[in-house]
A = this chain, B = another copy of it.
Amino acid sequence: MTGSEATQDSAAVDRSRRRGPPPVCPDFHAAIELIGKRWTGAILVALTDGPLRFGELAKSVPGLSDRLLSQRLRELEDEDLVERTVAPDAPVKVTYALTARGNDLKPAIGALREWARRWKLGKDA
């Protein structure tokens, strides 16, 4: 081994020591902050049992204003988690439902719900 190779090897070891654990996967980071945004998780959970009208959704998430509910629903439509359907009846009936991508969140939502129940989180908070 030449002196130069030895230097390169120990530099590589130093770098790997400094590097430490791998960075948290950005997919997960984006996901948790998307569904953890204020009210978003609650809206998604409310829709897990099936489509709801705006007024029904508003009642499912007490404390959420209509204005903010509209805003969150638009964000969830933009993220392709919720779809808005307008039935051409009179009076017009607008419903909100989970998309395939939103529906696929159910196992994660279920697991988190069970954790919250096991640790009685709502009561501590």
Contact = CB atoms under 8 A, between A and B. Distances in A.
A115 B107 CA distance: 9
Interface string A89-125: 0000000000001001101111111111111111111
A51 to B, nearest CB: 11
A115 B121 contact: no
A15 interface: no
A25 interface: yes
A31 B62 contact: no
Nearest to A57: B21
How many subunits of this chain does the assembly comprise? 2
Interface size class of A (residues with CB under 8 A): 35 or more
Nearest to A50: B21
Contacts of A110: 111
28 contacts: A20-B52, A20-B60, A21-B46, A21-B52, A23-B62, A24-B42, A24-B46, A24-B61, A25-B117, A27-B120, A27-B121, A28-B42, A28-B116, A28-B122, A29-B41, A29-B45, A30-B121, A30-B124, A30-B125, A32-B35, A32-B45, A33-B36, A34-B121, A36-B37, A79-B124, A104-B119, A108-B108, A108-B112
